[in-house]
Chains A and B, each alone.
Chain A
Amino acid sequence: MNDGRRQLLSCMAWVGTGLLWTVSGGVPRTLGLLGTAAAMPAPGLTFAQISDSHIGFARDPNTDTPGTLKAALDLVVAQHPAMMLHTGDVSHLSRPEQFDIAEQLIGATGIETHYIPGEHDWLEDDGRPFVARFQKGTKQGAPDGGFYSFDREGVHFVGLNNVADLKPGGMGALGARQLAWLKTDLAGHGDSTPLVVFAHIPLWVVYKEWGWGTDDSAQALALLRRFGSVTVLNGHIHQILQKVEGNVAFHTARSTAFPQPAPGTAPGPGPLKVEPGRLREVLGVASLTFTRGQSHLAVVDTPLGA
């Protein structure tokens, strides 16, 4: 294990609800508390991650998901990222009015935002309403597939869809068509290209009993293995988890709507009830920074409130 990775592992106690990511040479690194991150000069490409806004959910412990999304976006705006990723479950029930609210709140920030769907966004018409609204202008890996890639500041970003056509008894799934596209998409990139892969459901098995994993993620990870710097960003589980495996650093972001229990600590993965005064401590955003010439992506999670 090199020093960088040891440093990364030593920083695995996250600090809050927002996630601030720095890509520097390819592996994410935790910068520190929000205040620290904000005080640092912008070293390269800094982008934000928000997740699981669940617009339309209005029950205990959060009857105002638009309000907490707005609070998350205010935090993001204050961090001046170059762009933002939304890792899915934008809405609770894929309803047009829920998509409207999210689109208006996020659009009002003026920040370039790249979306991938969660299962809650894929409930109607095989996801077409989500793709048409939130992936406009992307080069779809397959017609209305909900997956695509793009390049920014030398970093190759790959947005995957692991919420479509799920199989009985299974977890998340990418499917043969998407895996074939991923292979082709990556073929044009050298091993030294930093990769950021984002998808809703974790691309490693967090907890099989709750479906927190992706059945065919091993095939995707095999395609990523030759790259020196791979960062995988997920949502879905409404809590921060992080692990490093070889050159691949995995990180899940908090929700902007409600927390979920730690794996196996409750009868099911439903919303975790918290006291109203404590809700914003367990919601948040992430910020990531990539610095050319350094091998680590710095990640800062920031809570909506302390």
Chain B
Amino acid sequence: MSGLLSRRRAALLLAVLPAVRAGAAGVASVTIDNFTFTPAVLTVAPGTRVVWINRDDIPHTVVSDARPPAFRSHALDTDDTFEVVFDRPGRWGYFCALHAHMQGTILVR
């Protein structure tokens, strides 16, 4: 699936990482807490790097609901992060493959 330029997993030292790609428009975050992605719908500009951080005591994953998945994290333990740069406008649904009732959306426009 096109539309994503790059992705990295579990970068705890986000602040000292170089930009994932040249021209990244900025960083936005999604927090996982109480088995919920917050915000459930995140709207960003093209080129934004979205970082998920798991604040739960239970591991979660971030998996695109496209087939095949456009992005897929490994299991994120407490305080682990996962990031994806979204380049193209569109709607990107995702869920936690361990707790499939957990869902979120990234709107790129």
Please determine whether B34 and A267 come into contact, CB atoms closer than 8 angstroms.
Answer: yes
Is A301 among interface residues, defined by CB-CB distance under 8 A?
A: no
Contact of B97 among A60, A166, A209 (CB under 8 A): A166
Q: Report the tally of A-B residue pairs with Cβ distances under 8 A.
A: 58
Contact of B57 among A60, A169, A208, A210 (CB under 8 A): A60
Bound-state CA distance A167–B58 (Å) is 19
B1 CB to closest chain A CB, in angstroms?
A: 15
Contacts of A123 in B (CB 8 A): 59, 61, 74-75, 98
- Contacts A93-B75, A123-B59, A271-B57 known; list 18 others, CB within 8 Å: A59-B57, A60-B57, A119-B99, A120-B98, A123-B74, A123-B98, A166-B98, A168-B65, A168-B95, A168-B100, A170-B100, A211-B99, A267-B34, A268-B36, A268-B56, A270-B34, A270-B35, A270-B58
Contacts of A169 in B (CB 8 A): 95, 100-101, 103
Please determine whether A170 and B101 come into contact, CB atoms closer than 8 angstroms.
Answer: yes
Bound-state CA distance A93–B95 (Å) is 18
Bound-state CA distance A37–B59 (Å) is 37
Please determine whether A211 and B101 come into contact, CB atoms closer than 8 angstroms.
Answer: yes
Residue of B nearest to A271 (CB): B57
Q: Which of B68-109 contact A (CB under 8 A)?
A: 74-75, 77-78, 93-95, 97-103
Is A94 among interface residues, defined by CB-CB distance under 8 A?
A: yes
Contact of B77 among A93, A167, A208, A270 (CB under 8 A): A93
Please determine whether A120 and B97 come into contact, CB atoms closer than 8 angstroms.
Answer: no
Contacts of A171 in B (CB 8 A): 100-101
Please determine whether B34 and A268 come into contact, CB atoms closer than 8 angstroms.
Answer: yes
Bound-state CA distance A170–B36 (Å) is 14
Sample of 10 A–B contacts (CB below 8 Å): A94-B75, A123-B75, A166-B98, A168-B65, A168-B94, A168-B95, A169-B95, A211-B100, A211-B101, A268-B33
B107 CB to closest chain A CB, in angstroms?
A: 16
Contacts of A166 in B (CB 8 A): 97-98, 100
Please determine whether A93 and B59 come into contact, CB atoms closer than 8 angstroms.
Answer: yes
Contacts of B61 in A (CB 8 A): 123
Central interface residue in A59, A167, A171, A211, by most chain B CB within 10 Å: A211
Residue of A nearest to B36 (CB): A268
Q: What sequence of 0s and 1s flags, for each residue 47-69 of chain B, a beta carbon within 8 Å of any chain A beta carbon?
A: 00000000011110100010000
A96 CB to closest chain B CB, in angstroms?
A: 14
Central interface residue in B36, B57, B58, B103, by most chain A CB within 10 Å: B58
Bound-state CA distance A90–B47 (Å) is 41
Bound-state CA distance A59–B33 (Å) is 16
Please determine whether A92 and B59 come into contact, CB atoms closer than 8 angstroms.
Answer: yes
Bound-state CA distance A167–B101 (Å) is 9
A217 CB to closest chain B CB, in angstroms?
A: 15
Q: A119-B98, A209-B101 are in contact. Are A168 and B93 (CB under 8 A)?
A: yes
Q: Which 8 A-B pairs have the closest CB atoms?
A: A268-B34, A166-B100, A211-B101, A168-B95, A268-B35, A168-B65, A267-B34, A119-B98
Contacts of A145 in B (CB 8 A): none
Residue of B nearest to A60 (CB): B57
